[in-house]
């Protein structure tokens, strides 16, 4: 086992030890805790990038790294797996977490206690959920990230936040209970919870037990789809995400992707074309449930009056698109969906941060949190020296737009273009790839006369109509926030609040310029998902490391 294999467990252990250290420091050392949190998050991001590069550079069998934390034989012990899909999700989590933390360090981390420790525990749960290869261990990491999210959801207090937080907690506790019930049913039928072992045993399940297996899978799917935001299980998401503080909501943008990642991982692994009588179980539910989510969210976004609510509804639109794409079980469509997932998640995180700054001048509660002395002044030209003009006469035609409003306006336009899917940014490339994959169900270079299903045409139409609904909603919001002639003071922006937005939007621009390498990467990840035997062979072929005593015993038996 080489050094890179040991690096698989590092994204989980690093935030665990960091959170423990910050809890020992107490609340008297918040500046120190903020710096430790930032350093740990950036190191975790570097580790994730190293794992992504490692999986990309390896040959096909070796592109899946397996680590046995308990050093037990598979499938009896805990297993962590890093492949192209999980490494991509790790990097995306690290990027969003770093930007959300930078934004929070401007002022939000002082709005309550234990913010930094909860932040690291949240990262531990996210990283663990993406790396685990065992259903029960997945449940453990789900509970870790949810327990931290409960505290982060309530961070900053307020009646609306507490009310939405209580609903959020109740729904997730119910989903966790369904998770356990579904896992128990699957274990009762197959005798294992290891994902690779499940993929091996599901085709061998007797016909008499297959109904119980499908019932357990359906109950498990309800828990995951509630977290992913599928209609009608998503009624809790918009109030909760809209009420959360800006950095927490930005981090929560990756939370729905945990549910989508789990559905994609388990469905392509357990119910692939090699699953026998259970092949593609539930595909129609994913396709049409995702479409229903798109329709409901697109209609609701037309009625949204606040930017935070629009961002939350846009998460549901993207979730519906991704779930429908997964249900088609086409590698080229899943590849396009993964590219769209990266672009839309970065844009939505930036929009949550931007919404806080845009709404600040309209809110009377800005003084509830202690202001930082470091701020970016608005660039308004002073009156000429010696002028006798009073305040009402200082407004002249041709006055320079304040820096703050120019930054907010341009950032809003960039976020809108990315979420709507209009050229020239990466959101357009993502949606165009999805549309192309729907019109070429067998992939490029194949029979152009291959039939296109009715469901594919429906999703094709909804992709265009949902983009049109978002265009109308964002255009109206932009007119209300930036063109309406109301006399409002320009908001005060801090450097730590602007830098994360610039970084997230800059990454989206980089995706636009370098879309081909990411599309090649997502295509390789989709091909691996479409051939689950690679994953199964890599996990089932992992062997524990012999102890020193065992090695000595083996040496004695050598001729």
**Per-residue confidence band for 391, with pLDDT thresholds at 50, 70 and 90:** very low
For residue 333, give the nearest of 428, 443, 455 by alpha carbon: 443
* Residue range 35-56, pLDDT digits in tens: 898 999 999 999 999 999 888 8
Q: What does the alpha-carbon distance between residue 541 and residue 272 come to, in Å, rounded to a whole number?
A: 20
553 confidence band (pLDDT: 50, 70, 90)? very low
Confidence check: pLDDT of 528 > 80: yes
**Does 302 score more than 70 pLDDT?**
yes
Measured in residues, the chain has a length of 559
For the segment 217-228, what is each residue's pLDDT rounded down to a tens digit?
899 989 889 888
CA 514 vs CA 27, 92, 423, 517, 519: distances in Å: 43, 16, 15, 6, 9
Q: How far apart are CA 320 and CA 500, in angstroms?
A: 27
N-terminal to C-terminal alpha carbon distance within the chain: 25
Q: What does the pLDDT look like over 114-143, one tens digit per residue?
A: 888 889 999 999 999 999 988 889 999 988
Global pTM value: 0.85
Other CB atoms within 10 Å distance of the CB of residue 442: 13
**pLDDT given at position 462:** 92
Better-predicted residue by pLDDT, 476 or 113? 476
- CB-CB contact of 347 with 418 (8 Å): yes
How far is it, in rounded angstroms, from Cα 448 to Cα 445?
A: 8
- The three-state DSSP-derived secondary structure of 21-71 is HHHHHCHHHHHHHHHHHHHHHHHHHHHHHHHHHHHHHCCCHHHCEEECCCC
Q: What is the DSSP string of 57-118?
A: HS-TGGGSEEE-TT-PPTTTS--EEE-HHHHHHHHHHHHHHHHHHHHHHHTGGGSSSSHHHH
399 falls in which pLDDT band (50, 70, 90)?
A: very low
SS3 call for 132: strand
pLDDT grade, residue 450 (50/70/90)? low
pLDDT recorded at residue 421: 87
């Amino acid at each position: 086992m080489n050094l890179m294999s040991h690096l698989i467990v590092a994204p989980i252990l690093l935030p665990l030890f960091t959170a423990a250290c910050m809890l020992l420091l107490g609340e008297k050392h918040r500046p120190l805790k903020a710096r430790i949190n930032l350093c740990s998050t950036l190191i975790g991001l570097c580790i994730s990038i190293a794992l992504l590069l490692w999986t990309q550079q390896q040959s096909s069998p070796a592109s899946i790294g397996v680590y046995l934390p308990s050093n037990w034989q598979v499938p009896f012990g805990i297993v962590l797996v890093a492949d192209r899909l999980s490494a991509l999700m790790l990097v995306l989590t690290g990027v969003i977490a770093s930007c959300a933390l930078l934004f929070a360090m401007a002022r939000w981390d002082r709005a309550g206690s234990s913010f930094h420790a909860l932040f690291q525990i949240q990262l531990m749960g996210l990283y663990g959920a993406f790396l685990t290869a065992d259903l029960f261990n997945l449940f453990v990491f789900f509970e870790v990230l949810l327990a931290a999210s409960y505290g982060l959801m309530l961070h900053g207090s307020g009646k609306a936040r507490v009310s939405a937080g209580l609903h959020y907690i109740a729904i997730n506790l119910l989903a966790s209970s369904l998770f356990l019930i579904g896992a128990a049913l699957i274990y009762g039928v197959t005798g294992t919870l290891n994902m690779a072992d499940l993929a091996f045993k599901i085709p061998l399940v007797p016909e008499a037990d297959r109904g119980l297996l499908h019932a357990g899978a359906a109950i498990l799917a309800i828990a995951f789809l509630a977290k992913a935001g599928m209609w009608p299980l998503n009624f809790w998401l918009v109030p909760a995400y809209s009420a959360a503080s800006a950095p927490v909501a930005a981090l929560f943008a990756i939370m729905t992707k945990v549910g989508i990642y789990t559905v994609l991982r388990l469905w392509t692994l357990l119910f692939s074309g090699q699953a026998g009588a259970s092949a593609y179980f539930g595909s129609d539910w994913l396709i049409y449930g995702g479409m229903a989510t798109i329709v409901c969210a697109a209609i609701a976004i037309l009625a949204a009056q606040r930017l935070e609510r629009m961002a939350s509804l846009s998460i549901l639109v993207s979730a519906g698109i991704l779930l429908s794409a997964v249900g088609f079980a086409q590698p080229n469509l899943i590849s396009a969906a993964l590219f769209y997932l990266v672009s839309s998640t970065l844009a939505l995180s930036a929009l949550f941060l931007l919404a806080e700054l845009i709404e600040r001048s309209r809110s009377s509660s800005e003084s509830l949190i202690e202001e930082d002395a470091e701020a970016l002044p608005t660039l308004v030209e002073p009156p000429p020296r010696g002028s006798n003009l009073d305040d009402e006469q200082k407004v002249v035609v041709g006055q320079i737009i304040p820096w703050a409003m120019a930054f907010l306006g341009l950032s809003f336009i960039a976020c809108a273009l990315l979420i709507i899917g209009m050229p020239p940014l990466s959101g357009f490339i993502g949606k165009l790839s999805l549309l192309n994959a729907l019109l070429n169900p067998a992939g490029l270079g194949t029979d152009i006369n291959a039939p296109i299903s009715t469901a594919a045409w429906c999703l094709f139409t909804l992709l265009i109509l949902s983009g049109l609904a978002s265009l109308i909603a964002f255009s109206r919001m932009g007119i209300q926030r930036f063109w309406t002639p109301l006399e409002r003071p320009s908001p005060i922006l801090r450097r730590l609040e602007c830098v994360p937005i610039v970084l997230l939007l800059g990454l989206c621009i980089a995706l636009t310029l370098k879309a081909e390498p990411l599309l090649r990467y997502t295509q390789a990840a989709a091909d691996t998902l479409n051939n689950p035997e690679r994953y199964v062979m890599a996990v089932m072929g992992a062997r524990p490391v012999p102890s020193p005593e065992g090695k000595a015993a083996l040496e004695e038996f050598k001729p």
